[in-house]
Amino acid sequence: MAGGPDVEPVRYGAEPDPRTGPPARERDAWELALIEAALDRGVPLLGICRGMQLLNVALGGTLVQHVDGHAEVPGVFGRHPVKPVPGTRCAAAVPEETYVPTYHHQAVDRLGNGLIPSAHAEDGTVEAIELPAPRWALGIQWHPEMAEDLRVMQALVAAVRGQSCR
C-alpha cells in the first residue's frame, strides 16, 4: 500500500485541519479492509507513506494532520535522514541512518494497538512503525520505490517467501 490522499480525520476521531486534503472515503474504506484482511490472515504487509498512516489508524492510532518540513516543494520529493530503532525489523533491513525520499505532510501521532516505532526523522517524527514478530507488518513514511536502496522491499520479499519472521 503506497501514498495518496490524506486519511479522512473522522477515521481516527479528529476534526479536519484546514490544511488536510479532501477525503477519499471509498479509498480509505477499501485500503483499511485490505489491511484488516492481511493482518487477520498473517500475510506480510508493507505500508508506504499513506499506507503506514492507514496501518496506524486501522489499529486505533491517530495522525498529526500537518507536519512542516517533510514536503518541501509541492509535487517534488525531498530527502531527509531517518534513523532506525535498534532491534526492530526496520533496523534489520536498514541498520544505519540513511537519507530517504519523502513527500508527506501527515505523520503518526498516537501509535495504534501493538505497534512500535522503528525509525525516526531528526525532528522526532515517527518514520516507521511495525508489529512485533511473529507478525510481519511494517509501515514506512518514506518512498523506497523512489530510491536506489531496495533493502526494505527485499525484506518484504523475504517475508513473503517465509525466509524471515523478523
> pLDDT value at position 163?
64
| Burial (0-12, 13-18, 19+ Cβ within 10 Å), 7 | buried
Position 141 confidence tier, pLDDT thresholds 50, 70, 90:
very high
Q: In this structure, what C-alpha cell is assigned to residue 33? A: 479492509
CATH H-level, domain 9-160: superfamily:
Class I glutamine amidotransferase (GATase) domain (3.40.50.880)
**Which of 46-60, 67-81, 97-111, 131-145 shows the highest mean pLDDT?**
46-60
Q: Which residues pair with 139 in a beta bridge?
A: 47, 129
DSSP 123: T
Catalytic residue selected from 8, 31, 49, 70: 49
Q: In this structure, what C-alpha cell is assigned to residue 157? A: 520479499
Name the residue ranges covered by the structural domains of the chain. Answer: 9-160
Task: Give CA angle at 65 (104, 105), nearest 5°.
Answer: 15
Q: What are phi and psi of 66, to 5 degrees?
A: -150, 125
> pLDDT value at position 103?
78
DSSP 5: S
| CB 112, CB 7: distance < 8 Å | no
CA 33 to chain centroid: 16
Active site residue 49: yes
Q: In this structure, what C-alpha cell is assigned to residue 44? A: 506480510
> pLDDT value at position 70?
61
Which amino acid is residue 42, in one-letter code? Answer: G
Catalytic residue selected from 72, 122, 145, 165: 145
Rg (CA), the chain: 15
Establish how many alpha carbons lie within 13 A of residue 43's alpha carbon, considering only the half-sphere containing its beta carbon: 10
Give SS3 for 35: helix
Active site residue 165: no
When pLDDT is averaged across residues 118-138 and rounded to a whole number, the result is 95
Note if the pTM is more than 0.85.
yes
CA–CA separation, 17 and 6 (whole Å)? 11
> pLDDT value at position 73?
64
